[in-house]
Amino acid sequence: MAPPSPDIAALQRQIGAAIQAGRDNEAGQLWQRLLDIDPGNPKALFALSQRAFRAGDLQRARALLERLVTADGRDQQQWINLAVVCRGLRDDEGEAAALTGALTVDPTDMLAQLLRGDLFERQGRRHEAARAFGAAAMAAPPLDQVDPSLRPLLERALAFQDGYQREYGAYLDAHLAPLLGELKSEPLGRFRDAVDIMFGRKRRYDPQPALFYYPGLAPVTFFDERALFPWIDELEAQTDAIRAEFLAALDAEQGFVPYLSYPPDQPHFQFAQLNNSPDWSAYHLIEQGRVVPEHAARCPATMAALARLPQPRQLNRTPSAMFSLLKPHTRIPAHTGVSNVRLVGHLPLILPGDCHLRVGNDVRAWEMGKAWVFDDTIEHEAWNDSDRLRVVLIFDVWHPHLSEAERAMVSALADGIHAFGAGAGGFEL
């Protein structure tokens, strides 16, 4: 008969006493005894991996950390330690996988994003490095509040970002120069200001788009001047036909996806509750500038109505159009859009009541048969407080105060952004 296992609690007390007395070798032996009788013990695996790392035995440290993240893995520091060991072993693939693990636990972890950016920079993947360093900068406190041991890495990341932005701006300046020359007689001052603001060469003011700010466009919440949108009456007249196509698609029960689907290692911020949730879903007709063929084929009247709109062309970004479904008692949290060069339109299709949209300080209820257009770079949120489904057709249109020349330049800018990232396999910033 096998002897009884030692009392794990008593063994842990012995370890604590050895550590407190400074008997390091004894503590190490006791940690190993604890691991022998409890192979998945997280504290033992962590302590022994630290001892192996300090002793320069990276292979043993890695083996222990891999056991640790398999047994536990709920603390991003476990994954970060594994990434550091893999880096010491010159295993880029293992390092990348460990950093993904850390960021899956906490997508906003500054150190993990810094280490990911550092890995991408070493690999020559400058676009991805800029994205990771940018995420780290967003998560970082003021520099004077950063742990002194991390400050040099953060400072280097910020310096990388600064240089990257200058290179990016210079590239787009050269890319746009020929068309600017052709349009030199056109009033493109606002466009030039927009590019300067994009790269930090000038200060950005309200509204607050996440990506691209175009100066000189008044921060209007809802555009009530219908004369700016001569197509709106014709669109509203198609409400019944568009609703019928939506209902047919809904009956088919195919093609509806969560409105938001962030990877687990990317920050979700205020959208954590709705990420990958059917409570807010979409049936895409045009997604990031590309028609969804099977959906478009089911909705010919809707697609014909959309084709008559002044849809913005920004490669891999716009236009977009979809049926947006908001389930009962669901709230979309406050957020802002990416650029004020395009406005967002809504055509309501199913309205159960108690459904509202707030844009800035302006709160409105949808009205059947009436479309509206608003600037989504102004903070906005929506909610359905009813007991039934709410459905609207969402679509993009150019801001009506942009000239044809300005629209051409914005489209050219999007082409340049795509070309700049083409070396990263289609990576988009």
**In this model, does residue 20 exceed pLDDT 50?**
yes
- 388 vs 115: CA distance, rounded Å: 46
Q: CB burial class (10 A; 0-12, 13-18, 19+) of residue 9?
A: exposed
Rounded Cα gap, residues 145 and 417, in angstroms: 34
pLDDT of 394 higher than 90: yes
Domains parsed from the chain with CATH numbers = 226-401 (2.60.120.330)
Q: Is 300 exposed, middle or buried (0-12, 13-18, 19+ CB in 10 A)?
A: exposed
Structure confidence at residue 276 (pLDDT)? 82
Give the single-character DSSP code of 280: E
The string of pLDDT tens digits covering residues 95-141 is: 999 999 999 999 999 999 999 999 999 999 999 999 999 999 999 99
Alpha-carbon Rg for the chain in angstroms = 27
Min mean pLDDT across 6-20, 78-92, 173-187, 210-224 is at 6-20
- pLDDT category at 262 given cuts 50, 70, 90 is confident
**How much of the chain is in helix, strand and coil states, percent to nearest 5?**
50, 15, 35
- pLDDT(269) > 80: no
Instruction: Please give the full DSSP string across 388-421, using - where no structure is assigned.
Output: S-EEEEEEEEE-TTS-HHHHHHHHHHHHHHHHHT
3-state DSSP call for residue 198? helix
What pLDDT sits at residue 263?
86
Give the residue-averaged pLDDT of 34-43: 89
Mean pLDDT of 272-284: 90
Distance CA 383, CA 94 (A): 43
Distances (CA, A) of 280 to 247, 299, 327, 328, 333: 17, 21, 6, 10, 11
pLDDT at residue 424 is higher than 60: no
How would residue 205 be classed by pLDDT, with cut points 50, 70 and 90?
confident
Q: What is the mean pLDDT of residues 25-38?
A: 89
Token reading at 363 = 């709160």
169 three-class SS: helix
Of 171, 236, 69, the residue nearest 422 (C-alpha)? 171
Concatenating the DSSP letter of every residue in 22-78 gives T-HHHHHHHHHHHHHHSTT-HHHHHHHHHHHHHTT-HHHHHHHHHHHHHH---SHHH
Give percent of the chain above pLDDT 70: 97
CA dist 193 → 196, 281, 327, 391 (Å)? 5, 36, 41, 38
Q: CB-hemisphere CA count at 13 Å for 16? A: 6
Nearest to 336 by CA among 363, 310, 359, 353: 359
Helix (H) or strand (E) holding 228: none
What pLDDT, on a 0 to 100 scale, did the predictor assign at position 3?
Answer: 45
pLDDT at 6: 57
pLDDT at 1: 41
Q: Please give the pLDDT value at position 423.
A: 55
Which pLDDT belongs to residue 9? 82
Residue 161 has pLDDT above 50, yes or no: yes
Give the mean model confidence (pLDDT) for residues 30-46: 90
- Summarised one tens digit per residue, pLDDT across range 343-370 is 999 999 999 989 999 999 889 999 999 9
Amino acid 285: pLDDT:
98
pLDDT band, residue 426 (cuts 50/70/90)? very low
List all residues 6 or more positions away from 297 whose beta carbon is below 8 Å from its beta carbon: none
- Tell whether the model's pLDDT for residue 428 goes beyond 70: no
Residue 334, amino acid: A
Q: Please compute the mean of the pLDDT values over residues 36-41 and round it to a whole number.
A: 89
Pairing of strands 372-374, 280-287: unpaired
Q: What is the mean pLDDT of residues 157-183?
A: 95
What average pLDDT does the chain have? 92
